[in-house]
Chain A
Amino acid sequence: AQSVTQLDSHVSVSEGTPVLLRCNYSSSYSPSLFWYVQHPNKGLQLLLKYTSAATLVKGINGFEAEFKKSETSFHLTKPSAHMSDAAEYFCVVRTSGTYKYIFGTGTRLKVLA
């Protein structure tokens, strides 16, 4: 069975400093992995996705993630945080054989001025 674990429920960074949001996955096959962002009272916006092509995936708004099979990780990074990055971030894996998603528990990113 597939699963994702987001290692931090809350992350605080200062504006202009790097962002690291951690996600580990469990899958018996090559997974499809996604990062979504949710701003308060809004739907989810796709940041980026990994679907067995390049292991370093670049997304929108300067975010990127690296798929590391040996570490079963798909951590989300950004070189320099902006105040507008403050939101909830979800790591997601697609289930095998279906198009259903399994969501991580989310990481709330706080950006300090």
Chain B
Amino acid sequence: GAVVSQHPSRVICKSGTSVKIECRSLDFQATTMFWYRQFPKQSLMLMATSNEGSKATYEQGVEKDKFLINHASLTLSTLTVTSAHPEDSSFYICSAREDNGETQYFGPGTRLLVL
């Protein structure tokens, strides 16, 4: 089946630093990937749609300069949280859509804690 990996699974950083999270589709090509944020005991909130070779599309209220997305290849998208603050602490989940389908396959998530 389609597998999506995320790295790191957990990261702790100091306030003001930047953190990069990688999302990889391991056995399929994904022109489109998605980044979500999930608060404790809540549903997933879509942050942005990542498109290979073009700019990401951000949802309303998501700061594009704070959450930088790069989708440089058909199997890799990265999310960089710049100048992280404690309120950015959350569970970040990516998904990848196989190019010939509509199903999204999700990564295992990255838990970010900003001190």
User: What A residues does B109 contact at CB under 8 A?
Assistant: 41-43
Q: Interface segment, B11-19, B41-49, B65-73, B74-82?
A: B41-49
Supposing A34-B103, A49-B103, A99-B32 touch, asked if A43 and B108 sit within 8 A by C-beta, the answer is yes
Please count how many residues in chain A sit with their CB below 8 Å of the partner chain's CB atoms. Answer: 20
Distance in Å: Cβ of A112 to nearest Cβ of chain B: 20
Contact A45 B106 (CB under 8 A): yes
- By secondary structure, the B interface counts as strand
Q: Which of B6, B43, B104, B111 contacts A99 (CB 8 A)?
A: B104
Residues of B within 8 A of A106 (CB): 42-43
Measured as residues with beta carbon below 8 angstroms from the partner, the interface class of chain B is 20 to 34
Q: Does B112 have its Cβ within 8 Å of any Cβ on chain A?
A: no
* Chain B residues with CB under 8 A of A90: 43-44
Which chain B residue shows the least CB distance to A108? Answer: B41
Residues of A within 8 A of B (CB): 32, 34, 36, 41-46, 49, 51, 90, 94, 99-101, 103-106
Top 7 closest pairs, chain A to chain B, by CB = A44-B106, A43-B108, A43-B106, A103-B43, A43-B109, A43-B107, A105-B43
Given A34-B103, A51-B102, A94-B102, 8 more pairs with CB closer than 8 A: A41-B111, A43-B108, A43-B109, A44-B44, A49-B103, A99-B97, A101-B34, A105-B43
